[in-house]
Amino acid sequence: MSPRILIVGGGLAGLASAVALTDRGFPCTLLESRPRLGGRASSFRDPTSDTEIDNCQHVTLGCCTNFRHFCQTTGLADYFQREPALFFVGPEGKTDRFAADPLPAPLHLVRAFARLSYLSWSDKIALARGLKALARPVSAQDESEPFSEWLRRHHQTEATIQRFWLVVLVSALSESLERISVGHARKVFVDAFLAHRDGWYVDIPSVPLEELYGGRLTNWLTSRGTEIRLQTSVEQIEMADDRASGVRLASHEIVSTDELIVALPFFRVLTVLPSSLKSHPDLAGIEQLEPAPISSIHLWFDRPITELRHAVLVDRVCQWVFNRTAIGAGHRPTAESATTENNLDSAHYYQIVISASHHLAGRSKDDILNDVLIELQAIWPATKQAKLLHSRQVTEHRAVFSPVPGVDSLRPTQQSPVANLQLTGDWTQTGWPATMEGAVRSGYLAASNVLRRLGQNDTVLQSNLPTSLLSRWMFGL
Ligand SMILES: Cc1cc2nc3c(=O)[nH]c(=O)nc-3n(C[C@H](O)[C@H](O)[C@H](O)COP(=O)(O)OP(=O)(O)OC[C@H]3O[C@@H](n4cnc5c(N)ncnc54)[C@H](O)[C@@H]3O)c2cc1C
């Protein structure tokens, strides 16, 4: 008889476990408390525009090999577009195109860095030295200090800190430099820029996240025998004879299982664990994980404000601008919305992302919108003529865990102290920050553990992009 496998949580970690197991002939039952899948990477219906909009623009990088594998396995990869270049808008408003040369890493991006107009030559020399130093293995001193200290110790200029290190890291890790560990910063630069020539590419979904995870992925899973129960909230893990025997739902129903994968966020998971596990030393760190916020501002204008598909804004409150209309997922009106008074059918939809948005706390939405519009007007004068038809602001206060020094020692492995219980989520031990890649890795690792328990030694986790020979030689990577 097939083993019963229960997955609690339909974010990317739970979905990745479900895909890996279903693909190997072990369909599961997945329980999700919300009416939709995707967790922190999901959409919601905006009543004014009558469209599905993402809680926040999600992008992935070329170095995210497991997330790509997950998308390729399930047919979602066709709905991502690779940006051949990045567009950085400097503090003076000049746009720099940043693209790779046909050379092996790390030479592929040398010319792109050299051309950044908002850094002086002495900044660029400091930056090159900083990147070389960061590629070295993390020392004990590095481990204990925040990345801001490391940067000063390695003679990085104020301009490189504000206009380069901060710009890259705040987007990748959603934290300020004072709250980023050296190891996490190193990982971003090694994986995205130094190790392989494809690591830095940004892939953007061309449809709303709901269409990816709600529609297509749901079909992929259910057509292969996996059951998905939405609006099914788990209250407690049930234990019997030192095993997880099932879960108790909010409706009091008990769902029994042979193998249990709990894929909840770190700020939720302790509520469902039995008391014997809550105090287990292996799981004691969960309580100490700290969240960091990400805000997104959705704007619908009556005309284009820029033709760029995306822009990275340097030294501004707004960090990324995504031109959703150009990317393709912007506006999908229904028949009713096309006839409403506030007709957004032909509107131009842009999304602004502000990571590590601690500084926005306590400010009014009008105030924030005002600052955002002033910045956009300064960069793209067409914004002054454009009429703002509609706007939405979303702040996810617990978007990711903060990658503070020492954080990795707080993250448990997927194998819990109970043999048939796996814990998964972007916050578990993956070696990655809180990202879709981290979530998929954790889901794959949990699925591997379950497969091993079922007597199958299948490798689920995908390898990293191979490090180029030159990077190995130059940096010892
Ligand atoms: C605003 C924002 C922007 C981001 N941008 C990016 C980006 O550009 N690129 C990137 O790679 N990553 C990004 N991330 C991070 C990424 O979204 C997360 O790392 C990833 O989605 C986490 O997946 P997860 O499965 O670990 O957790 P979650 O997505 O939190 O999944 C947990 C699931 O469990 C469900 N659940 C909770 N309680 C219960 C219960 N009692 N019973 C049943 N189900 C329950 C939840 O509803 C949820 O669906 C962003 C995150 C946010 C919030």
pLDDT of the residue at 344: 85
Quote the ligand 1 centre to 336 CA distance (angstroms): 31
Are residue 269 and residue 414 in the same domain, yes or no? yes
Three-state DSSP at 248 gives strand
Q: What CATH number has the domain bearing residue 385?
A: 3.90.660.10
Are residue 377 and residue 229 in the same domain, yes or no? no
Atom of ligand 1 nearest to the CA of 438: 19
Are residue 322 and residue 367 in the same domain, yes or no? yes
Does any domain span residue 14? yes
Are residue 89 and residue 167 in the same domain, yes or no? yes
pLDDT of the residue at 336: 43
Are residue 321 and residue 261 in the same domain, yes or no? no
Nearest alpha carbon to residue 123 among 60, 165, 182: 165
Contact between residue 382 and residue 201 where contact means Cβ atoms under 8 Å apart = no
pLDDT of the residue at 342: 58
Nearest CA to ligand 1 atom 34: 9
**Which of 187, 202, 217 is a domain's end point?**
202
Nearest CA to ligand 1 atom 39: 33
- Amino acid at residue number 470: L
Token pair listed for 304: 């284009």
Nearest alpha carbon to residue 174 among 436, 477, 443, 463: 436
Are residue 139 and residue 215 in the same domain, yes or no? no
Quote the ligand 1 centre to 400 CA distance (angstroms): 8
For each of the chain's 477 residues, which pLDDT tens digit applies? 789 999 999 999 999 999 999 999 999 999 999 999 999 999 999 999 888 999 999 999 999 999 999 999 999 999 999 999 999 999 999 999 999 999 999 999 999 999 999 999 999 999 999 999 999 999 989 989 999 999 999 999 999 999 999 999 999 999 999 999 999 999 999 999 999 999 999 999 999 999 999 889 999 999 999 999 999 999 999 999 999 999 999 999 999 999 999 999 999 999 999 998 998 999 999 999 999 999 999 999 999 999 999 999 999 999 999 999 999 854 444 444 444 445 788 899 999 999 999 999 999 999 999 999 999 999 999 999 999 999 999 999 999 999 999 999 999 999 999 999 999 999 999 999 999 999 999 999 999 999 999 999 989 999 999 999 999 999 999
Three-state DSSP at 89 gives strand
Quote the ligand 1 centre to 17 CA distance (angstroms): 14
Nearest CA to ligand 1 atom 49: 39
Are residue 90 and residue 197 in the same domain, yes or no? yes
Query: Whole-angstrom Cα distance, residue 179 to residue 310?
Result: 27
Let me know the angle formed at the C-alpha of 219 by 16 and 26, rounded to the nearest 5 degrees.
50
Complete DSSP assignment for 393-425 = EEEEEEEEE---TTGGGGPPPSB-SSTTEEE-S
Quote the ligand 1 centre to 356 CA distance (angstroms): 16
Q: 144 — phi, psi (to 5°)?
A: -90, -10
Token pair listed for 460: 């689920």
pLDDT of the residue at 62: 98
Atom of ligand 1 nearest to the CA of 233: 42
Does any domain span residue 61? no
Instruction: Quickly count: other Cβ atoms within 10 Å of residue 213's Cβ.
Output: 23
Would the pTM of this model clear 0.85, i.e. be above it? yes
Are residue 359 and residue 328 in the same domain, yes or no? yes
**Which of 172, 187, 202 is a domain's end point?**
202
Q: What CATH number has the domain bearing residue 415?
A: 3.50.50.60
Does any domain span residue 70? no
Does any domain span residue 477? no
Does any domain span residue 67? no
**Packed helices 182-189 and 166-173: angle between N→C axes, nearest 10 degrees:** 100
Instruction: Quickly count: other Cβ atoms within 10 Å of residue 229's Cβ.
Output: 13
Lining residues, ligand 1, CB within 6 Å? 8-14, 31-34, 39-41, 55-56, 58-60, 233-234, 263-265, 268, 294, 396, 399-400, 425-426, 434-439
* Domain, as residue range, for 175: 83-202
Residue 99: is it exposed, middle or buried by C-beta count within 10 angstroms (0-12/13-18/19+)? Answer: middle
Quote the ligand 1 centre to 37 CA distance (angstroms): 10
Quote the ligand 1 centre to 98 CA distance (angstroms): 30
- Tell me, what DSSP letter sits at residue 215? I
Does any domain span residue 73? no
Contact between residue 382 and residue 305 where contact means Cβ atoms under 8 Å apart = yes
Does any domain span residue 469? no
- What are the CA-CA distances from residue 243 to residues 261, 277, 418, 447 (Å)? 13, 12, 6, 18
Looking at the structure of the chain, the number of domains it has is 3
Nearest alpha carbon to residue 264 among 446, 423, 30, 58: 423
Are residue 282 and residue 416 in the same domain, yes or no? yes
Quote the ligand 1 centre to 108 CA distance (angstroms): 33
* Ligand 1 probe mutation, 264, 310, 354, most atoms within 8 A of CB: 264
Nearest alpha carbon to residue 436 among 213, 216, 223, 185: 213
Query: Whole-angstrom Cα distance, residue 161 to residue 168?
Result: 10
Are residue 326 and residue 397 in the same domain, yes or no? yes
